[in-house]
Amino acid sequence: MNYLKVERRGDVAVVGLNRPDKRNAISDAFVEELALAVNEAEQTAKAGVIHGIGPHFCAGLDLAEHVKKTPFEGVHGSRRWHEVFAKIERGKMPWVSALHGAVVGGGLELAASTHVRVADETAFFALPEGQRGIFVGGGGSVRAARLMGVARMTDMMLTGRSVDARTAEQWNLVQYVVKEGCALDKAVELAAAAAGNAEISNYAIINALPRIQDMGSDEGLFFESFIASFTATSPEAEARLNAFLAKKAGKVKRPGESG
């Protein structure tokens, strides 16, 4: 692989975007390598982390490549992004993104396809497509808009506004903000925690929850009942529940509580 660096940390597959000279801009070849990395991770790991190598996470679409495409080629490229990013969002295992520097355009769209997002204090977020004469094409109109709301996304796209990590946290674009240089370690820690869950629970969480959000309340509650019953009757769930009842599993602690 030329554009990615993949390693393992226990049960966690760590995928590094490795095109630092282009601020990890996403080209067609980049997307195909990412697809292969995601598929491989699903076969060998229980959770994954995506991070950027170099000063930035990802500055978005490779505009030098995009400007040469016909409109039809552009549509096909966008649909391929949708396909690969959907494999992350609604695949077999949870993904955490570690964000620093530029999280811009397609970089924000990629981050939005992960399930948990950790930003360090250097991260900044923008959707400059309006200034480039284009529109988001990597799923941002669905995923990013649902995270921060249509009004905020409209503001960013119309005005070119960029926001820092703390604002991104307030807007629900990220769930954690850490000190500079600490995002990757925190992301691996969170991914490892998720990897320790029952596989069927993780699958239900990342696949059922977003679909329930797309349903009406009555339909969502009905669907929830079946998912809850199905997961609770798995052999792993039975073993974990019995371990808790036998006081062999820890209880939920207050934030900051040890022991």
**Residue 197: pLDDT band with limits 50, 70, 90:** very high
Question: What CATH homologous superfamily does 199-245 map to?
Answer: Lyase 2-enoyl-coa Hydratase, Chain  A, domain 2 (1.10.12.10)
Q: Where in the chain is the domain with CATH 1.10.12.10?
A: 199-245
User: What rounded mean pLDDT belongs to the chain?
Assistant: 92
**Does residue 109 have an active-site annotation?**
yes
**Residue 259: pLDDT band with limits 50, 70, 90:** low
Please pick, among 129, 199, 224, 236, the residue that the annotation labels catalytic. 129
With 90 as the cut, is the pLDDT of residue 65 above it?
A: no
* Mean pLDDT, range 177-195, rounded to an integer: 98
pLDDT (tens digit per residue) in 153-180 = 999 999 999 999 999 999 999 999 999 9
Question: What CATH homologous superfamily does 4-195 map to?
Answer: 2-enoyl-CoA Hydratase; Chain A, domain 1 (3.90.226.10)
- Cβ burial of 146 (10 Å; 0-12, 13-18, 19+) is middle
* Mean pLDDT, range 7-26, rounded to an integer: 96
Please tell me the predicted confidence (pLDDT) of residue 63: 76
**Residue 245: pLDDT band with limits 50, 70, 90:** low
Please pick, among 109, 121, 189, 224, the residue that the annotation labels catalytic. 109
Q: Where in the chain is the domain with CATH 3.90.226.10?
A: 4-195
Query: Bigger pLDDT: 255 or 151?
Result: 151
CB contact at 8 A, 56 and 102: yes
Give CA 88 to chain center in angstroms: 7
Please calculate the CA angle 226-231-234 and round it to the nearest 5 degrees.
130
